[in-house]
């Protein structure tokens, strides 16, 4: 099933089960609710959860995926740019792993097509987990009889690189966050969000934020240039390679400063913002978006209302707010 916005109000990808049984979804809205359930193999989710928190995936047993993606910090690390092996700066803000299973591409520059492919990156990167091959990881995990039996229970062929990636990816697919107040509103509960949040949502649409941040994740389904109205990078200064975004993948000049539009789900939980961690607050991020993506100087009143809308995008993980 794909979740790409096709420019219409097509919600054919939403099943009856997703409507809370009410059968009601505000069909014409350009944002869709996150499904309430996902069918995932529990054994693999549990193994993947363990691997996600496993420092043996790094060269000196010091760094796990969870070092930079803390589940109690909205799936990020709260830093401007993430620090990996022995404090090396990755030069990029760690995106949340919540709802990563629904993204159309992974990473700020969209360099990975799937979660499985994405997992190769941090393990192999010298600056992140120290530059490990899957063979190195397999050797370490095989020394634990506990891991060997857990893999044998979950997979016919035991501990392999593909199975490690598969389990971690299935765990990440379990990190979906349904039932946000805004989703309850979309499913027909008029009182799930305040009048201010509704006004903020209308502004989000009328200013045009929605042209880039839409679909189920309120983002995560297209690439866009950062700095359409004005040179964000010149104004910020200190331009580094990772600021080139998608250009680093395609070497195509038209991809300079092009990034995957990030999801705004659980956005109040994942400061600081942008690929560079430059805006420290959501207030600042919203104003910069107005300025550089829409060419408008948003009045504080409107920023506040948009914020009230964004707050309603915080969903639940395992039944509790993210
Ligand atoms: C040193 C910190 C660090 C570690 C360790 C790390 N990550 Fe990340 N993660 C990042 C950063 C920074 C990015 C953005 C990378 C990019 O855009 O190229 C990222 C991107 C991601 C994404 C893409 C999210 C999106 O919205 O596009 C996923 C999924 C992810 N990491 C999962 C993992 C997994 C799984 C592991 C362990 C195997 C891991 N990360 C280890 C910092 C880290
Ligand atoms: C032309 C496309 C476009 C428009 C219009 C747009 N955005 Fe964005 N938005 C982006 C991109 C691309 C990024 C990533 C910026 C970066 O990483 O440097 C982003 C990032 C953000 C972030 C930070 C997300 C994060 O995880 O760091 C917020 C919040 C945000 N936008 C809100 C808004 C609001 C509110 C509006 C309307 C006032 C808006 N955006 C309009 C494309 C757009």
Average pLDDT, integer, range 269-281: 98
pLDDT for residue 13 is more than 60: no
Q: Are residue 28 and residue 47 in the same domain, yes or no?
A: no
* 240 within ligand 2 shell (Cβ under 6 A): no
On the question of pLDDT at 28 being above 60, the answer is yes
- Whether 10 shows a pLDDT value over 70: the answer reads no
The reply to whether 103 sits in an annotated binding site is no
Q: What percent of the chain has pLDDT over 90?
A: 91
Q: How far is CA 174 from the centre of its chain?
A: 13
265 CB-near residues (< 8 Å, 6+ apart): 34, 98, 99, 177, 180, 217, 218, 219, 313, 314, 315
Considering the domain architecture, whether residues 52 and 147 belong to the same structural domain is answered as yes
> What is the share, in percent, of the chain residues with pLDDT greater than 70?
92
Residue 16 has pLDDT above 70, yes or no: no
Structure confidence by residue, pLDDT tens digits, 215-225: 999 999 999 99
Q: Is 235 helix (H, G, I), strand (E, B) or coil?
A: helix
pLDDT of 29 higher than 50: yes
Determine the Cα–Cα distance for residues 65 and 130; give it in Å rounded to an integer. 12
Answer yes or no: is the C-beta of 290 below 6 A from any ligand 2 atom. Answer: yes
- Contact 208 CB / ligand 2 (< 6 Å): yes
Query: Is the pLDDT at 19 greater than 80, yes or no?
Result: no
Q: Whole-angstrom Cα distance, residue 159 to residue 161?
A: 7
Same domain, 160 and 198: no
Is residue 96 domain-shared with residue 134, that is, in the same domain?
A: yes
The CA distance from 73 to 62, in Å, is 19
- 8-state DSSP, 61: S
Examine residue 2 and state whether it is found in any structural domain, yes or no.
no
Q: Does 11 have pLDDT greater than 70? A: no
10 found inside a domain: no
With cut-offs at 50, 70 and 90, classify the pLDDT of residue 175.
Answer: very high
pLDDT for 166 equals 98
69 is in an annotated binding site: yes
Q: Does a structural domain hold residue 121?
A: yes
In a shared domain, residues 257 and 154 = no
**Counting beta carbons within 10 angstroms of the beta carbon of residue 313, is it exposed (0 to 12), middle (13 to 18) or buried (19 or more)?**
buried
Residue pair 51/201 in contact (Cβ under 8 Å)? The answer is no
User: Are residues 110 and 187 located together in one domain of the fold?
Assistant: no
Q: Is residue 9, in this structure, part of any structural domain at all?
A: no
> Do 199 and 110 sit in the same domain of this protein?
no
Q: Which of 47, 88, 96, 122 is the pocket-test mutation for ligand 1 (most atoms within 8 Å of CB)?
A: 122
Domain count, the chain: 2
Instruction: Check residue 15 and give its pLDDT.
Output: 46
Q: Are residues 67 and 144 in the same domain?
A: yes
Q: What is the pLDDT of residues 188-218, one digit of tens each?
A: 999 999 999 999 999 999 999 999 999 999 9
Domain-embedded: residue 112: yes
| 32 appears as a binding residue in the annotation | no
Do 79 and 194 lie in one domain? The reply is: no
| Domain termination site, one of 148, 173, 198 | 173
How far does the centroid of ligand 2 lie from the alpha carbon of residue 289, in Å? Answer: 5
Asked whether the whole model's pTM tops 0.95, one would answer no
Domain that holds residue 97: 42-173
Residue nearest to atom 13 of ligand 1 (CA): 94
Which residue, of 126, 141, 173, is where some domain finishes? Answer: 173
Cα 125 to ligand 2 centroid, rounded to whole Å = 27
Name the phi and psi angles at 316, rounded to 5: -115, 140
The beta strand positions in the chain, using DSSP E, are: 223-225, 258-260, 316-317, 320-321
Which CATH number goes with the domain that contains 151? 1.10.760.10
Q: Is residue 154 part of a domain?
A: yes
pLDDT digits (tens, 9 = 90+) for 45-75: 999 999 999 999 999 999 999 999 999 999 9
Residue 109 lies in a domain: yes
Question: Active site includes 49?
Answer: no
- Measured by CA distance, the residue closest to atom 12 of ligand 2 is 261
Residue 5 lies in a domain: no
- Out of 117, 128, 135, 284, the active site residue is 128
């Amino acid at each position: 099933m794909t979740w790409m916005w096709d420019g219409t109000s097509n919600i054919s990808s939403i099943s009856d089960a997703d409507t809370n049984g009410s059968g009601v979804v505000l069909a014409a809205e350009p944002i869709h609710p996150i499904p309430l359930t996902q069918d995932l193999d529990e054994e693999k989710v549990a193994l993947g959860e363990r691997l996600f928190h496993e420092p043996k995936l790094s060269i000196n047993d010091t760094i796990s995926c969870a070092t930079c993606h803390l589940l109690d910090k909205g799936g990020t690390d709260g830093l401007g740019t993430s620090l990996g092996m022995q404090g090396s700066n990755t030069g990029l803000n760690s995106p949340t792993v919540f709802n990563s299973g629904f993204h159309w591409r992974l990473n700020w520059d969209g360099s990975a097509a799937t979660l499985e492919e994405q997992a190769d990156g941090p393990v192999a990167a010298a600056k992140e987990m120290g530059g490990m091959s899957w063979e190195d990881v397999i050797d370490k995990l095989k020394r634990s009889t506990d891991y060997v039996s857990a893999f044998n229970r979950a997979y016919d062929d035991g501990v392999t690189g593909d199975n490690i990636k598969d389990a971690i990816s299935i765990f990440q697919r379990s990190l979906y966050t349904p039932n946000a107040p805004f989703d309850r509103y979309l499913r027909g509960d008029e009182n799930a969000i305040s009048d201010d949040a509704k006004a903020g949502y209308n502004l989000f649409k009328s200013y045009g934020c929605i042209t880039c941040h839409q679909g189920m994740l309120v983002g995560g389904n297209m690439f866009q240039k950062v700095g359409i109205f004005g040179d964000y990078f010149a104004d910020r200064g200190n331009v580094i390679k990772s600021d080139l975004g998608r250009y680093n993948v395609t070497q195509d000049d038209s991809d300079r400063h092009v990034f995957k539009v990030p999801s705004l789900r659980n956005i109040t939980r994942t400061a600081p913002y942008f690929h560079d961690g430059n805006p420290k607050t959501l207030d600042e991020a919203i104003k910069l978006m107005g300025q550089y993506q829409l060419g408008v100087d948003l009045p504080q009143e409107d920023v506040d209302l948009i914020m009230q809308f964004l707050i309603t995008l915080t969903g639940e993980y395992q039944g509790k707010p993210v």
